[in-house]
């Protein structure tokens, strides 16, 4: 039945594609190019319906007759998951554009998709994106800056050092010898993105018609809002400047340890961004990090501090912190310590996707994380409800944020949120994802879009942290607990101006500081025991 519905979906979607293409052509600044691009819309829709039907048939046929819970079914399901992930990967690369960005996002959703999909999509979507030819790059550079690259730059490497869904990066030198990173948007990306958006909108709406429980229409609103900003590199440049200003003004204690490449405004436009080139190791390159004299645990702690400050204090958050967008280097002014180690500096790349949290949302989100770290069940419920999860789905919201079942979320043990990285942990997560899929879908529909982006950010940070330490970290949760707690106290003090209210707020949170002290002692003992065990 589901397979027949998918085929009907494909036929209906393809039949409607002409109208979508027409809308894109009318709205385009370059109708001739748009006409050419929009001929691909029916083909893209057809590829989607074929891939979906093929994956659905594989599950239905391969698992037929295998008893639920049997070892044979588990083995076959694992193989089908891998085949399904490969088909989805192929679809994303063939369609390109937004599809690759969606594939990147799916690769972070451990609470929603099987682990096989997470591993395959996370690896391929970040590191194997399509590359524009040098001729296409030259066309964009000339269109944006008026001359070919060899006229504007002293030298320009025709082979990109990185490629993503929307752009690729080339190394160049200016005429003064400064090394530059030049981010060039893929040619005709603005028009193809419009076609992609129209296609995704049609797919999601049609899927909802055939399968009412599949309601991801909120995704359309998010793409509509974020895509134009990501395609305007001047917005990205301004975001990087604002991010650094926030650290200097609001988080001076770590401002010197967080950096964004300098922008060369005279060589930047909406489709081309020229920045200083930063040498460093990608944040998941453990060998490279150690080779720079840095400790992965110090990098993980700095990452946690950086994004905790953004989320709970600044309210202006980099929402795409996956491994390809984060590099690390030794702090330029730091010297080697007694054990030969240096302090890290985190370099934030790709500032195209930011979200602003208003004061109320930021404070509620900080209060929620404070409650999660200290296993305060009443405060968890209160702040989950404030953020839109409702009286019925707040345990699920807490579970998605922490990747822990409710029983562990409210466990008073110091390390109650730490994942061991064992097979049992992953099996438990996949069981919950399968069992509560309709509830997860409903929760994602309810939550404000800005919170959905915080979930995406959370997923990315968890993946990076796990690649650095091969596990989740108690220290990271202590950092989150401290920064979120301080942000809540600051919010209270801003609301309560008088001296007596100041004292009241201080006394109210005095016990918090005591608990933080106890947790730090527990962490020290935990680390000492682990050291002695070796």
Q: Where in the sequence numbering do the catalytic residues fall?
A: 320
* Cβ–Cβ < 8 Å for 461, 302: no
- Cβ within 8 Å of residue 390, ≥6 positions away: 446
Q: In this structure, what is the dihedral angle of CA atoms 257, 258, 262, 263, given to the nearest 10 degrees?
A: -170
Q: How far is CA 321 from the centre of its chain?
A: 5
- Cβ within 8 Å of residue 12, ≥6 positions away: 206
Pairing between β-strand 316-318 and β-strand 354-356 as defined by DSSP bridges = antiparallel
Burial of 36-48, coded b for 16+ CB within 10 Å and e otherwise, reads ebbebbbebbebb
How far apart, in whole angstroms, are the C-alpha atoms of residue 128 and residue 200? 22
318 Rama sector, left if φ>0, alpha if ψ -120 to 50, beta otherwise: beta
The burial class, CB within 10 Å (0-12 / 13-18 / 19+), for 503 is exposed
- Helix-, strand-, coil-residue percentages of the chain, each rounded to 5: 65, 10, 25
The sheet with strand 281-282 has its strands ordered as 258-259, 344-348, 326-330, 281-282
How far apart, in whole angstroms, are the C-alpha atoms of residue 268 and residue 198? 29
Q: How far is CA 503 from CA 492, 493, 500, 509, in A?
A: 11, 9, 5, 10
* Cβ–Cβ < 8 Å for 12, 213: no
């Amino acid at each position: 039945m589901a397979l027949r519905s998918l085929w009907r979906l494909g036929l209906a979607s393809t039949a409607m594609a002409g109208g979508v293409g027409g809308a894109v052509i009318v709205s385009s600044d370059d109708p001739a190019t748009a006409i050419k691009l929009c001929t691909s819309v029916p083909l893209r829709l057809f590829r989607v319906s074929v891939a979906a039907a093929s994956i659905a048939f594989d599950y239905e046929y391969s698992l037929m007759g295998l008893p639920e819970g049997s070892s044979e079914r588990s083995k076959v399901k694992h193989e089908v998951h891998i085949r399904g992930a490969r088909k989805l990967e192929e679809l994303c690369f063939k369609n390109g554009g937004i599809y690759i960005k969606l594939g990147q996002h799916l690769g972070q959703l451990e609470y929603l998709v099987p682990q096989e999909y997470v591993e395959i999509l996370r690896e391929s979507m970040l590191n194997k994106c399509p590359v524009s030819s040098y001729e296409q790059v030259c066309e964009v550079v000339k269109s944006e800056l008026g001359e070919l690259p060899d006229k504007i730059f002293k030298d320009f490497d025709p082979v990109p050092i990185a490629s993503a869904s929307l752009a690729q990066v080339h190394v160049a030198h200016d005429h003064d010898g400064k090394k530059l990173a030049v981010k060039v948007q893929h040619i005709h990306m603005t028009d193809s993105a419009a076609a992609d958006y129209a296609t995704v909108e049609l797919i999601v709406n049609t899927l909802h018609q055939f399968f009412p429980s599949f309601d991801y229409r909120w995704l359309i609103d998010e793409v509509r809002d974020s895509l134009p900003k990501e395609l305007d590199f001047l917005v990205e440049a301004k975001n990087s400047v604002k991010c650094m200003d926030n650290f200097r003004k609001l988080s001076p204690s770590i401002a010197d340890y967080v950096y964004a490449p300098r922008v060369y405004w005279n060589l930047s436009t909406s489709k081309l961004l020229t920045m200083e080139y930063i040498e460093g190791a990608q944040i998941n390159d453990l060998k490279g990090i150690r080779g720079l004299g840095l400790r992965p645990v110090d990098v993980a702690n700095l990452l946690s501090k950086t994004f905790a400050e953004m989320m709970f204090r600044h309210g202006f958050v980099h929402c795409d912190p996956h491994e390809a967008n984060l590099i690390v280097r030794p702090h330029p002014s730091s010297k080697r310590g007694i054990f030969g180690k240096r302090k890290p500096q985190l370099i934030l790349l790709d500032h195209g996707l930011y979200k602003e949290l208003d004061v109320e949302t930021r404070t509620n989100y900080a209060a929620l994380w404070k409650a999660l770290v200290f296993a305060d069940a009443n405060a968890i419920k209160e702040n989950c409800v404030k953020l839109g999860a409702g009286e019925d789905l707040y345990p699920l919201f807490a579970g998605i944020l922490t990747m822990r079942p409710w029983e562990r979320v409210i466990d008073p043990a110091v390390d109650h949120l730490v994942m061991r990285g064992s097979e049992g942990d992953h099996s438990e997560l996949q069981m919950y994802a399968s069992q509560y899929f309709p509830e997860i879908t409903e929760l994602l529909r309810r939550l404000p879009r800005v919170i959905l982006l915080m979930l995406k950010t959370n997923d990315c940070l968890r993946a990076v942290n796990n690649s650095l330490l091969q596990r989740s970290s108690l220290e990271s949760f202590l950092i989150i607990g401290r920064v979120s707690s301080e942000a809540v106290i600051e919010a209270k003090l801003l609301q309560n101006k008088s001296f007596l209210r100041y004292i009241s707020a201080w006394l109210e949170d005095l016990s918090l500081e005591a608990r933080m002290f106890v947790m730090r002692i527990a962490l020290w003992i935990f680390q000492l025991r682990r050291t002695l065990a070796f």
